[in-house]
Amino acid sequence: MFEITFLGTAASAPLPKRGLSSVIVAHDEYRFMVDCGEGTQRQLLSSGLGFRRLENILITHAHLDHILGLAGILSTLGQWETIDRMTIYGGRSALDRIEDLIYRIVFRGTRPPIQLNLVEIKPGIILEGEDFDVVAFPVQHRGPDCFGFVFQEHSRRPFLNDKATALGVPQGPERRDLVRGLPITLADGRIIRPDDVLGELQPGAKLVMTGDIGETNGLEQVARNAHALVTEATYLDADLPLARQNSHITVGLAARLARNANVKQLILTHISGRYRERDLEAEARAIFPNTVIARDFDTFKVKAE
């Protein structure tokens, strides 16, 4: 299961009740921040999440409303000594700007008090956890090296507790070994194999986050059967020419992508102050009913059915 908490949901400029783009994605002991707009550290504190385990930051693209918050967070972390290292993932153009921000402004003339790793990403797997992967995919927006991210749990076979109990498998390390695919030998000499106590293979949870995008072409396959799709909703369909001009998409395009990709839930963010929220919601739900518009500090659980 993935848990996502929105720290900022506004488009381009902050609004009275919406900060700039940033989302926390948590999975077991892992925590990822996706984008870090201006004011994100205040949002982290207001959300109650704080700075713990903030060791991985994924940047979708180089625009300032997605990276300026790094300056404040790194400055604060340097004083508080909350963590001792951080890895920032992004495309080359984003990392070039971030490097200037860090080393020419925040820590100019000094050494950062924590270990900083800037990792250039390419399409494909960028991080492998024990039971999930983080995959980068290219998107089209203004400028080069723009990416979205897929958080994908590995497929697994559920452990059948009742069957294991009937076979006399004790609680403890024996069951863990069976889950890992290892046979065990019981005290009476019987050998129990994983196939004896594991169910059919089931796909894990899939979370897709597009970042800012100027078109949806090519994204249906990426989002196919996702349990949640998080994407922008900067314009209404009536303003499609303006959306095209600014390399963003409309609510209708987002909803059609969700429908065509057979996703379970659509979560819209990057909200413009030019529209009423209920109008955005109505346009999306007319096409894809299971749509919600994220607000700052909203939390969603994304899990396989």
Active site residues: 65
Within 8 A by CB and 6+ apart from 30, the residues are 53, 56, 129
Angle, helices 251-260 vs 277-285, to 10°: value is: 30
21: tokens are: 């783009």
Nearest to 67 by CA among 97, 45, 43: 97
Contact assessment for residue 214 and residue 166, using Cβ atoms and an 8 Å cutoff: no
Sequence-ordered strand ranges (E) for 129-221: 132-138, 147-153, 184-185, 191-192, 206-209
Within 8 A by CB and 6+ apart from 128, the residues are 134
Cα 47 to Cα 299: distance, rounded to the nearest angstrom: 10
Cα 209 to Cα 207: distance, rounded to the nearest angstrom: 7
Cα 259 to Cα 93: distance, rounded to the nearest angstrom: 32
- Binding-site members for Zn(2+) are 61, 63, 65-66, 141, 212, 270
Edge to edge, what strands does the sheet with 2-8 contain?
Answer: 115-120, 85-90, 56-58, 30-34, 22-27, 2-8, 299-302
